[in-house]
Amino acid sequence: MTKPKPIIGISGNERPHAKFPDILWSYTPSGYVKGVQNAGGLPLVIPVSEPDFAASYVSMIDKLILTGGQNVDPVFYGEEKNTSDDDFYLARDLFEFALVEETIKQKKPIFSVCRGTQLMNIALGGTLNQDIEHHWQDEPSDYLSQNMLVKTGTALEKIYGTSTSINSFHHQSIRRLADNLEVIAYDPVDDTVEAVVSTNPDITFLGVQWHPELLLESRTEDQRLFEYVVKEL
């Protein structure tokens, strides 16, 4: 009998249609879907919904991926908005915080990318730098614009080694790290946090700041990261 594929929930985003702003589109970048499928998982895109729906969605999946996108409203870490990029979506924030709470409650693993990593840090009690420089590249999405150092003995070190290069599309970053998190990768130039893991045995979590879903076609390491998430995390 064929073993069932693990179901990987992928948090979706919601944006107005470019030509019809009164129509909202639910979506996720296809790299997440392909990365999960190539790794032997079954992707399930979870649309932005009411927080009360979170428990039902989490009960349907084996693991959760929190994706990139808008800024997380700083009200959730006790600050006012102080950023040049006024891209916020409160409904998504509220729903994804509910997803995190339920996923932890149901003891299922979480993997996060960019905004998702920032949101997870906030959910666990951390804060963000609201506006940083030199981490938003103008080059194509598969261009490796930043260097990264990786802690030895970690899952990332097995995939990327102790030093690698990454793409970079974020103007916010972790400032105060949540108590239950540990930094396992960082930018050697300015110490920007690039990856974290949970140190709480009751929370299985890996978060990265770069976008591996945009690098699947250009190098094997990022697909191996998805394989780790689907099969081992």
Which residues carry out catalysis?
114, 211, 213
* SS3 label, residue 227: helix
Q: Where are the alpha helices (DSSP H) in 124-216?
A: 155-160
The H or E element spanning position 186 is: strand 181-186
**CA nearest to 8, candidates 207, 224, 230:** 230
143 CB-near residues (< 8 Å, 6+ apart) = 137, 167
Query: Quick check: 216 and 222 in contact, CB under 8 A?
Result: yes
d(CA 95, CA 208): 21
